[in-house]
Chains A and B, each alone.
Chain A
Amino acid sequence: MLKVLKSGFFMTVQDLGRFGHRDIGVPISGAMDMDSVKKANLLLENDPNAAVLEITMQGPTLQFEEPTAICLSGAHISATLNNAPIENYQVVQVSKGDILSYGRLENGFRGYLAIKDGFQTPKVLGSRSQFIPVTKKKHIKDGEEIPYTKTDSYAPIISEVKIEDHFLGEELEVFKGPEFSLLSDQQLAAIFSKPFTVSKENNRMAYQLKELIPGHGHSMLTSGTLPGTIQFTPAGRLIILMKDGQTTGGYPRILQLSEAAINTLAQKKLGDTLSFKLL
């Protein structure tokens, strides 16, 4: 078990996501920055779907009750194991009783803790990703214990790699969305000529952008939405749906983020700026 001494700001168990239930309104969920998770699981020679902890902004304090190996990725939150600093993308052997804690957020917004063979919380509808009301709990709280399997000794093929963070840039690549053609020249200019700022309404469901662009009066029948869909409200607000986002919506879907852009946006926080580049 991994003992959660302090849970930090917002921490959840995530895997690749919950597939095959979009037809009953269940979002895909899964890690927000999949790129970071895939790399960490790869270094641990885990199944790509091995569950990790997604640690938002402020790190937890965690105690390992069995030996294992871990790998951190994503945001840099000044992690230490028994007070000795550890780096991202480094396979670290952990002994019984070791304490992992975090400090200052250096960059990004979501850090990941991958563990040998993945966290073993129960699967619901084929996934361990936490999402209410599919899973009972929205996130992990102080005092909880998260199961994992013991690994006495593990010799990784590669124990450490230097990886440049993929999320430092401001530019998000986008495709045209299904209602792209509704945009006027004025609206297009407003979207592609200036940077936007992440508003305080940003979470696993959606990121709202602070700046408004000229609004519209289009109404449409509710239709499907995906992670990365940019909805355009009549008031001129851009709302970017993320992994826990609703599966359908009634606002025009003007743009669609690339998967790489979703990974980048997942590492942006309140006040960060970003810009769009049409592919």
Chain B
Amino acid sequence: MKSYPITIKPFGERAILVEWPNQVEESILADILDFMDAFKELGLPGWEMSVAYNSLTMVCNQEHLDFETIKKLVLDCHSRQAASKTKRIQYLWRIPVCYDLEFGIDLEEASQTLKLSPDELIQEHTAHQYVVYGIGFLPGFMYLGGLPTGLEIPRRAEPRLQVAKGSVGLAGKQTGVYPQDSPGGWNIIGNCPVELFNPKAEEPCFVKVGDKIQFQKISRAEYDLHKIEGEVGIYKPEKTVLNA
């Protein structure tokens, strides 16, 4: 596994920012995740880390940091991580989406802009696996990479004040699911009946950074069924192990 050069910057009194080369690449993400595993193995209390594309924000909740000390620790850890390999399990999650026009309020307009039929757009959107490069912005919001260029479409000129929970959108190089009602400027092409963030669940967010997502077209009847399954707590998202 390739190891990349990193830079480390102070980020206020309790955090540092570790940055990898400024690109969206699976091999960079893998290097970040390897580093996180190696750092966790050190067993230092009070640290929390969050990944976004090529960077890792590391926050220490316990005490104020001595930047030079932690910088050295991070560099040592990064240079040694090749040796300490905890095997991560990564999953491919199949996320059901109903693309009916009732939910996909921008599907027709987006199809026209992209010079596709709505069916072709749906087919293209469901044909690819998207890498989860980060979770943030809203609880359970996934930053997905790997959208085919044929689906790249500008944000809407005016954001909507309210986009419905579960809405699946396209914007620039991104696609994703709004995990809750939220203002937003993405082009909405469908709705996902699955709770991507559930604070009552043992794992509030079942998807992890480094996993992959593939959207699956479902009918309105299946949508309703999954909704009910979710409400009574028996919905199990379909997953396959990627790196067994």
A165: min CB distance to chain B, Å? 22
Contact call A25/B135, Cβ cutoff below 8 A: yes
Contact call A125/B15, Cβ cutoff below 8 A: no
A246 within 8 A of B: yes
Contact call A256/B136, Cβ cutoff below 8 A: no
Give the contacts of A236-279 with B (CB-CB under 8 A). 246-249, 253, 256-259
Nearest CB to that of A246 among chain B residues?
Answer: B137
Which chain B residues lie closer than 8 Å to A258 at the CB level? 12-13
Contact call B140/A25, Cβ cutoff below 8 A: yes
Interface-facing stretch out of B45-53, B81-89, B94-102, B228-236? B45-53
Interface majority SS on A: helix, strand, loop or mixed? loop
Contact call A222/B48, Cβ cutoff below 8 A: no
Of B22, B59, B205, B209, which is within 8 A of A226 by CB? B59
A25: min CB distance to chain B, Å? 4
Contact call A25/B17, Cβ cutoff below 8 A: no
A135: min CB distance to chain B, Å? 8
Q: How far is the CA of A19 from the CA of B59 in the complex (A)?
A: 10
**Number of residues on chain B facing chain A (CB within 8 A):** 40
Contact call A222/B143, Cβ cutoff below 8 A: yes
Of A25, A222, A225, which is within 8 A of B139 by CB? A25
A223 within 8 A of B: yes
Which chain B residues lie closer than 8 Å to A106 at the CB level? none
**Number of residues on chain A facing chain B (CB within 8 A):** 35
B36: min CB distance to chain A, Å? 9
Which chain B residues lie closer than 8 Å to A157 at the CB level? none
Of B11, B24, B49, B197, which is within 8 A of A178 by CB? B11
B148 within 8 A of A: no
Which chain B residues lie closer than 8 Å to A221 at the CB level? 22, 24, 52-55
Contact call B180/A20, Cβ cutoff below 8 A: no
Which chain B residues lie closer than 8 Å to A8 at the CB level? none
Which chain A residues lie closer than 8 Å to B9 at the CB level? 178
Contact call B199/A134, Cβ cutoff below 8 A: yes
Give the contacts of A89-146 with B (CB-CB under 8 A). 124-125, 132-135
A6 within 8 A of B: no
A77 within 8 A of B: no
Of B10, B55, B140, B205, which is within 8 A of A223 by CB? B55
A175 within 8 A of B: yes
15 A–B contacts, CB within 8 A, in A order: A19-B61, A22-B48, A25-B135, A25-B136, A125-B199, A125-B204, A177-B11, A224-B50, A226-B14, A226-B57, A226-B59, A247-B50, A248-B134, A248-B143, A256-B12
